[in-house]
Structure 1
């Protein structure tokens, strides 16, 4: 075995995916985005199984992990298209990412780099009583681009693993 075998590289990539998806999971929990929370949870489970398959030399686990990566990349392409409003998709829709259970959006909308949140008072008559109506200004990077960057990182990690290292152990 060389200094950095295929197994070592795959274990490293799985570790990087776990770190990045845990960070993403926390952010999605803060924004009450239920579809990404469920998908991230599935990804965490599959990556752990892929890591186990790599360490224990279980080809079926690694093959399942590789098959999941195709679904995972497709999901992340959808997220990119959603936030960039490709076609009929709208980032302002509650139905898609929150299953219409809440009015929450991306956590980055209010907490992005440099964002200043100011409550609007009095709130408009159409605003629900249990939600505050706010104005957001001064963001160095709009929230949709932060979300696109997160999804792009996930695609890069999944693609780097499949493109450059194949399945040689």
Structure 2
């Protein structure tokens, strides 16, 4: 009986490590899925904005002209906005790792872009969080800001993760 207890006790760390590995794989899969989603949606949202210059506000997923090859379905954890200043892809409750993945992809040369596309994207898109109606970039979010250079639409929730092409004011 004592041996059985120790046998099962020995299995706990192995099961725990397997569970952590599975959770890590799910997390990576979720991040990759969201980044792929944003990669496809950003272009469609920009086209919608260009074709509907007189409109501002929320854009329904069904209004975006996505390529059939994208095989995307609407995500319940994000929504889209446009205004005269740019596009906004918003995750009100982002999951851990997404902000860092987007910042890395769109702010350095390690992103998996086709040759020639990289130069047009680096520095053009910005990833951050809504703090008091301003975009605080991922790298600067922990710091206090001395000014707001990228105001956000008032409908974006405080603390939401925002991916935008909006430039500085």
From the CA coordinates, give the structure whose radius of gyration is larger.
Answer: 2
- TM-score by length of structure 2 reads 0.27
Q: Which has the higher strand share?
A: 2
Q: Which has the higher helix share?
A: 1
- TM-score by length of structure 1 reads 0.27
Higher relative contact order (CA 8 A, sep 6+): 1
